[in-house]
Amino acid sequence: MFFSKKTHPIWSTLIIGAGTIAASEVLWYFYNYVHDLLKWQQAQVHEVHMFNELGFECFQEHRAHSQRGKFFTCPNTHCTQRHIERIIELLARAKFSIDLAMYSLNSPEILLALGKALQRNVAIRLIVSQPVVTPINGNIFNLMRAGLKVRSQPFVGLMHHKFCVIDGRTRVDHIWSLKRRSYDPPATYSVVINGSVNWTQGGFGANWENLVITSHHRIASEFQAEFDRMWETFVGSD
């Protein structure tokens, strides 16, 4: 009786304390699980964008306004400019890597977005069909001075791809391994942008094209693997 009267408050305190700590751990684990799940769900994108005559109508209006430094609020639901801005939005979200295989690339808006990504220390690799000394890709030189790595295919035939992998899983893991950190990289979500459209003024503004955007894990892995394979096969400037 004496023992229980003296120790009961201490044991109770210990049990309550241990229970509180355990409950906190469980709550913290649950919070992180839900938080990560919501972030993953928010990062999931599966979109199809069509470039067609319905989207061309307002395009010249957009270009005219942007040349005057003004934003044009567009009511056109098929707007070509919206498609371009969606690509730029995804490029702006890149944390670690952008791997771009593009037959031809000269869109000023895209080049500007890539330049901004380089300023954020995003590693950008570009594969083009022709060596960059050709006039069509001449404006890539400025980005190369800022850190862009470029390779082109040495064979007969065309590197006719038009795809982009943003924060591909294996690429992020490789970049992180070079940093030699003892902890895991922050959560990143791979996105693939692929389609018929060249990221050029002409490709965006005058042709009937398609663009598919997906965060599907397996599709992103397949595109990343082919990009890595081409990168190792092709000669480059780096």
Residue 113 Cβ, how far from Zn ion at the closest point, in Å?
18
Rounded CA separation 91/187 (Å):
17
Q: Is 76 in the site for Zn ion (CB under 5 A)?
A: yes
The residues pairing with 210 across neighbouring beta strands, listed in sequence order, are 50
Residue 62 Cβ, how far from Zn ion at the closest point, in Å?
5
Place of tokens 């371009």: 84
Rounded CA separation 16/12 (Å):
6
- Quick check: is 95 catalytic? no
Which two tokens mark 45? 């994108």
52: left (phi over 0), alpha (psi -120 to 50) or beta: beta
Please provide residue 151's backbone torsions phi and psi, each rounded to the nearest 5 degrees: -135, 155
**Segment interacting with Zn ion (CB under 5 A) among 34-42, 75-83, 108-116, 125-133:** 75-83
Which residue number, 4 or 73, has a Cβ lying nearer to Zn ion?
73
Q: Is 84 in the site for Zn ion (CB under 5 A)?
A: no
The residues pairing with 195 across neighbouring beta strands, listed in sequence order, are 211
Which two tokens mark 177? 């391994």
Residue 120 Cβ, how far from Zn ion at the closest point, in Å?
28
- Quick check: is 167 catalytic? yes
Size of the site for Zn ion (CB under 5 A): 5
Q: Is 126 in the site for Zn ion (CB under 5 A)?
A: no
Indicate which residue of 8, 35, 39, 160 is catalytic: 160
Which residue number, 81 or 152, has a Cβ lying nearer to Zn ion?
81
- Quick check: is 162 catalytic? yes
Place of tokens 């590693």: 123
CB within 8 Å of 89: residues ≥ 6 apart: none
**Which amino acid makes up residue 29?**
Y
- Which of 51, 56, 81, 200 lies at the binding interface for Zn ion (CB under 5 A)? 81
Indicate which residue of 49, 83, 99, 167 is catalytic: 167
Rounded CA separation 83/49 (Å):
7
**Segment interacting with Zn ion (CB under 5 A) among 27-35, 57-65, 130-138, 215-223:** 57-65
- Which of 49, 51, 56, 74 lies at the binding interface for Zn ion (CB under 5 A)? 74
Inter-residue contact 167 to 97 (CB < 8 Å):
yes
Which residue number, 55 or 168, has a Cβ lying nearer to Zn ion?
55
Sign of CA dihedral 103, 195, 209, 214: negative
Q: Is 58 in the site for Zn ion (CB under 5 A)?
A: yes
Q: Is 207 in the site for Zn ion (CB under 5 A)?
A: no
Residue 130 Cβ, how far from Zn ion at the closest point, in Å?
31
What amino acid positions are annotated as catalytic residues? 160, 162, 167
Q: Give contact residues for Zn ion (rule: CB under 5 A).
A: 58, 74, 76, 79, 81
